[in-house]
Amino acid sequence: MRHRVHAGRGEDWRILREGVWRHRVEVEIRPAEAELYFRDERWTDRANTEIRFRALVCNADTGVNFAVIAPDGSPGAGTIDQTGLYRAPDKGLFASGTTDLVVATARADPLRKAFAFVTLIGVGPLPVPAPTIELWPKSRTLYYASGDDNAYIDERNKMQLFRAFPRNSPATGVIWLVDGAVQGGSEVWFLYRPPPSGGTAEHSVTVQIPGMPQVADTAKVIVLNYVWPGL
């Protein structure tokens, strides 16, 4: 196509240039800014942790490529797919107020881009509860199997079944100790039997979370002999 410009009052025309004029590709992204919560934010709807961006391309029909970057050009905190769906990251070490840039790049002209701002807010999930363990019962009085008049005592009063209640434990079992000595078994149930005979004594039954000796609970057991009144 020839483009001409009028050179004067006469009919003389001068050719300026020869070529084809093309309209420049333009890109617009919507919304231009958004505020989202971290994906693992406590007490928030998951819908508030993602948003879909839409890109409008003028003078081209090949669409855009989406990407997420930080303001300094490094990789962004969140992610976006090629439909424009942006997902916020988990809180991790990101500070509340972290900013991402969503970039829409025209496929027809990679130099034509549009940007949107995403501000990530929140304090993240609830703190992980600390491991604890509880032992039941906390105290018990038992009798020796033999000695004095212990034969009159029901066998159920010569043993005690303890139950441990571990919570938020990283381990699958527990450790039992009697007077500081580790006993066999890792189940939450433990049947304690006192020595066969002896004098009045106090013993301890302790349960711990494996690998965490500071997370423990202890029960007190008093063992004695029974003397029949009047004998």
Residue 118: is its pLDDT beyond 60? yes
Residues near 77 by beta carbon (within 8 Å), at least 6 away in sequence: 68, 70, 88, 89, 94, 98, 100, 120
What does the pLDDT read at residue 14? Answer: 44
The neighbouring-strand residues paired with 99 are 119
Rounded Cα distance, 152 and 133, in Å: 36
Please give the pLDDT value at position 228: 87
Q: How many CA atoms lie within 13 A of 149 on its CB side?
A: 7
Whole-number CA gyration radius for the chain: 39
Tokens standing for 36? 């989202």
Sketch out the chain's domains with CATH numbers.
Answer: 26-121 (2.60.40.60), 132-224 (2.60.40.10)
Written as six digits, the tokens of 154 are: 């029901």
Q: Is the peptide bond before 31 cis (omega within 30 degrees of 0)?
A: yes
Q: pLDDT by residue (tens digit) across 86-106?
A: 999 999 999 999 999 999 999
Paired strand residues for 204:
220
The whole-angstrom separation of Cα 102 and Cα 29 is 9
- pLDDT tens by residue, 136-195: 999 999 999 998 999 999 999 999 999 999 999 999 999 999 999 999 889 999 999 999
